[in-house]
Amino acid sequence: MTRTFDPTRQPEADFSLVQRQLSQGYDGHFLLVDSAVLHEKVRRFKEAMPRVHPHFAVKCNPDPGILAELYKAGAGFEIASPAELALCQAMGVPAAEVYYSNPMRAREAVEVAAKAGLQWFVIDSVSEMRKIVALKPDASFYLRLHTSNEGSVNPLSEKFGVFEEEVADMVREAVRLGADLAGATFHAGSQCLNPDNWRTGIEAAVQAFAQMRAAGLKPRLLNLGGGFPVEYASPVPTIKDIGLVINEALRAVPDEVRVMAEPGRYLVSDSTYLVCRVIGTTVRRGHPWAYLDAGLYNGLLETTTGITFNMASSRQGELVPWTIAGPTCDSLDICNRSQPLPHNLQEGDFIYVHNVGAYSNACSGHFNGFDLPKIMVV
């Protein structure tokens, strides 16, 4: 049965699915993924930007059940490693349709990808271009450009990207090697609240394309990266708002250029509840603390990167600010220092954390011997 969503609001995971799951008992923290939301997010993305093909960033959530739903909904994929490529292949996605968007790879990783038939590799250095050409002379390349990340919650411009003045060197080397340098990409920064970053990124790509064409290369791929935001505790630009900026900027991009993007967070975050439980409470210097059976290492890593999740509990009561900590002995494992929750919260109460589909299970570990979150896709 297809669910209808209010088009004026962010789609929300259906809480009755959580209740149904809990009615069967509780065996430790888990992620409950509402697949209808995954489909709705792919639909909204395409509706807002009809020219832009979404290729989900597998790193954001590599759960096979989630990937399968996104594939059914019409998304493609972008990978950072051979393990992620294998996940795509296991679903029957042809490797030639998968994009390798991690700009630095081990030689062995390139060999695995080339053998599988992957065609498109991102690069942002002459050395990586040479490495890949030596292993796969007919590879096609897209250039990661360094562009503005201003106004994004998690900037990603520190580690990768060629600066404007370095594009000429990359083009010259591609011509010298006979390499198919045929595209450009950038990343606006994750949870990007500034639609202008996509406009300036597209403008930078258009300039890079002109340099490629002048050197006899044939640009035909524009990859708008990820960064599309979701609403956590405060409002964000909608996908429609961002689409308007992008669609306008794309008017300068010729029709023969395929346009794609690599949304991660936008496609999966809202679909998922983290359900966990209070394992103990205390008061420290007059301030209440609650310790949960899940923390940074079990699904809530993003609380360390500026994301504030909404949390609700199974108990009713006047809301007061709590410090919320995970179950490990690590002082880093503190998720929020002023989370509104009922004053009478107690051991055993359930905590429902909204919008935890992105970088949750993907960034979890067994630190201190605690479990990874289980995932249920319904």
Binding stretches for ligand PLP (CB under 6 A): 57, 60, 78, 101, 156, 187, 190, 225-228, 262-266, 358
> Who contacts 104 (Cβ-Cβ below 8 Å, separation ≥6)?
125, 128, 160
In the complex, what is the shortest distance from the CB of residue 338 to ligand PLP, in angstroms, rounded to a whole number?
A: 26
In the complex, what is the shortest distance from the CB of residue 33 to ligand PLP, in angstroms, rounded to a whole number?
A: 16
In the complex, what is the shortest distance from the CB of residue 362 to ligand PLP, in angstroms, rounded to a whole number?
A: 10
In the complex, what is the shortest distance from the CB of residue 256 to ligand PLP, in angstroms, rounded to a whole number?
A: 24
In the complex, what is the shortest distance from the CB of residue 237 to ligand PLP, in angstroms, rounded to a whole number?
A: 14
In the complex, what is the shortest distance from the CB of residue 81 to ligand PLP, in angstroms, rounded to a whole number?
A: 12
In the complex, what is the shortest distance from the CB of residue 199 to ligand PLP, in angstroms, rounded to a whole number?
A: 17
Would you say 173 or 262 has its CB closer to ligand PLP?
262
Would you say 35 or 190 has its CB closer to ligand PLP?
190
Would you say 60 or 351 has its CB closer to ligand PLP?
60
Would you say 197 or 298 has its CB closer to ligand PLP?
197
Rounded Cα distance, 67 and 59, in Å? 11
In the complex, what is the shortest distance from the CB of residue 192 to ligand PLP, in angstroms, rounded to a whole number?
A: 7
Would you say 263 or 373 has its CB closer to ligand PLP?
263
Would you say 34 or 124 has its CB closer to ligand PLP?
124
Would you say 57 or 95 has its CB closer to ligand PLP?
57
How would you write the chain as a 3-class SS string? CCCCCCCCCCCCCCHHHHHHHHCCCCCCCEEEECHHHHHHHHHHHHHHCCCEEEEEEHHHCCCHHHHHHHHHCCCEEEECCHHHHHHHHHCCCCHHHCEECCCCCCHHHHHHHHHHCCCEEEECCHHHHHHHHHHCCCCEEEEEECCCCCCEEECCCCCCCECHHHHHHHHHHHHHHCCEEEEEECCCCEEECCCHHHHHHHHHHHHHHHHHHHCCCCCCEEECCCCCCCCCCCCCCCHHHHHHHHHHHHHHCCCCCEEEECCCHHHHHHHEEEEEEEEEEEEECCEEEEEECCCHHHCCHHHHHCCCCCEEECCCCCEEEEEEECCCCCCCCEEEEEEEEECCCCCCCEEEECCCCCCCHHHCCCHHHCCCCEEEEC
Would you say 192 or 292 has its CB closer to ligand PLP?
192
